[in-house]
Amino acid sequence: MDKKQHIAIFTTASLPWLTGTAVNPLFRAAYLAKDNAWEVTLVIPWLKLEDQKHVYSNNITFESASEQETYVRQWLEERTGFSSSFAIRFYPGRFSIHKRSIIALGDITEVIPDEEADVAVLEEPEHLTWYHHGKRWKLKFRLVVGIVHTNYLEYVKREKNGQFQAFLLKYMNSWVVDIYCHRVIRLSAATQELPRSVICNVHGVNPKFLEIGMKKREQQQNETQPFTKGAYYIGKMVWHKGYKELLKLLSDNQKELTGVEVDLYGSGEDSDQVEEAAKKLEITVMVNPGRDHADPLFHDYKVFLNPSTTDVVCTTTAEALAMGKIVVCANHPSNDFFKQFPNCRMYDDSEGFVKETHKALQDQPAPLTDAQKHELSWDAATERFLESAELEKTVKKLVKKPSKLYMSTSFNLKNKLEDASALLHYVGTALVSKEPDEEQSKQVGLSVPSKEKSYPSRKWAF
């Protein structure tokens, strides 16, 4: 029997931060390990206590990596209903307040031993490689697959000098992804084009949402009223997460939407401003604190309004469809995956938004079919991932090269150009990347750098 291949999934966030790059890679690891065909390791960031306080909500912090691992596993098992066999390892990370992101410290490829370095899945490959200063991913692993989660260009455009920043970032992203990834999966066409990339939604929904949808289908079949509430939106309460677009649509069409009530749920830096803007509207818009989307409070809402165009594939839209609701969303590349579902109603402009909102509030959602339920599930998402990444037919054909820092042994001109590009990036990141300190290295089980090996202070780094 052939030895099982190893898959190491590296991601940029971890629970209890309920962000997409914490939740989706966790489910991916669980479902890849479910059929026992692969040895799977999830690699997540370990933060110092002061950074944990910035990132994790409800005053949750951890004294050790093992304590956080226990929390992550319990959270996952409560939602999947099964115990997962994958391993969890940690890499040293630091929270950048300016970027509102976790940045890896040091060479995080060291977390995986060379003998296990078969496949690396980089969740947000550009993010993980902007500051990467260490062994070349393509040389250490037989296959490196990037999964692009975030439309960074759209976010950057909304900042000061946004167009210029987006121009630079576009080329930086293409550069680092080309250097470090054999293959790239873009969740939707809302992301920038990248070398050797395909478009495929390889995310599923938390099984709890599908259970809610099945209960609603039973109620519909029993001719009871499954939905007794109207329209709502849920998301982190920052302007770029759809609130700006939604409140503008409601403000511009107040007369046409007379009598419509909308409930907003979220917490975030812009909560006060969102609440103030909602009070100025003539129609009723209630602003509420954020909650888990699976909370029973949301089960009876019939219509989910989501005008956001900054997402790549919106998790809350998928969750709402899984719960059997009607979704009104923008006709945008980020929503292409949802066009297959009858309960997804798309609009092209302000007039279309008004029309689809009224119609959705009057209609009853079509019951969720078994085929639609499967398409939204993590089982189907895992099938799509294996097919898009071509793991099963590719990994055994690839020969692992010597695990050097950045140079290959090939005389091929293309490889030599890539080597030169990798060397340039390696030298550049020496100026802007940081190394973990002794304490953080020990906490994640990495060897502590010798005292003879010194690193510049790099006070300007992120």
Give per-residue pLDDT as tens, 317-375. Answer: 999 999 999 999 999 999 999 999 999 999 999 999 999 999 999 999 999 999 999 99
Burial of 338 (0-12, 13-18, 19+ CB in 10 A): buried
- pLDDT one-digit tens code per residue, 131-188: 888 889 999 999 999 999 988 877 788 778 888 888 898 999 899 999 999 999 999 9
Confirm if 226 and 216 have CB atoms less than 8 A apart.
Answer: yes
Residue of 171, 148, 168, 149 whose CA lies nearest to 159 = 168
Confirm if 16 and 60 have CB atoms less than 8 A apart.
Answer: yes
- pLDDT one-digit tens code per residue, 224-271: 889 999 999 999 898 988 999 999 999 999 999 999 999 999 988 899
E strand spans, 4-117: 6-10, 39-46, 87-96, 101-104
pLDDT of residue 99: 78
- pLDDT one-digit tens code per residue, 39-64: 999 999 999 999 999 899 888 999 99
DSSP 8-state assignment for residue 67: H
Name beta bridge partners: 88: 42
Angle at 179 between CA 178 and CA 183, to 5 degrees: 50
How many CB atoms are located within 10 Å of the residue 115 CB? 8
More confident residue, 423 or 1: 423
Q: In this model, does residue 2 exceed pLDDT 70?
A: no
DSSP 8-state assignment for residue 164: H
pLDDT grade, residue 454 (50/70/90)?
very low
pLDDT of residue 348: 96
pLDDT grade, residue 458 (50/70/90)?
very low
CB-based contacts of 36, cutoff 8 Å, min separation 6 = 85
**Structural tokens at position 33:** 């390990």
- The residue type found at 227 is F
Q: Which residue has the tokens 């490829």?
A: 109
- pLDDT one-digit tens code per residue, 372-398: 999 999 999 999 999 999 887 766 565
pLDDT of residue 269: 86
* Interatomic CA distance for residues 341 and 343, integer angstroms: 5
CB-based contacts of 336, cutoff 8 Å, min separation 6 = 188, 189
Q: In this model, does residue 460 exceed pLDDT 50?
A: no
User: pLDDT exceeding 90 applies to what percent of the chain?
Assistant: 68
Angle at 375 between CA 374 and CA 381, to 5 degrees: 100
pLDDT of residue 398: 55
Gyration radius of the chain's alpha carbons: 23
pLDDT of residue 437: 86
pLDDT of residue 329: 97
* Interatomic CA distance for residues 115 and 417, integer angstroms: 28
Q: Which residue has the tokens 């914490």?
A: 22
pLDDT of residue 395: 60
Q: How do beta strands 101-104 and 87-96 pair?
A: antiparallel
**Mean of all residue pLDDT scores within the chain:** 89
Q: Concatenated DSSP letters for 181-235?
A: -SEEEESSTTSPP-TTEEE-------HHHHHHHHHHHHHHHTT-----EEEEEES
* Interatomic CA distance for residues 364 and 304, integer angstroms: 13
Rounded to 5, what percent of the chain is helix, strand, coil? 45, 15, 40
Longest dimension (CA), the chain: 75
Confirm if 124 and 77 have CB atoms less than 8 A apart.
Answer: no
Backbone torsions φ then ψ of 199, nearest 5 degrees? -105, 120
Backbone torsions φ then ψ of 13, nearest 5 degrees? -160, 165
CB-based contacts of 338, cutoff 8 Å, min separation 6 = 317, 318, 321, 327, 329, 344
**Structural tokens at position 422:** 């990798």
* Mean pLDDT to the nearest integer, 90-94: 95
* Interatomic CA distance for residues 212 and 227, integer angstroms: 12
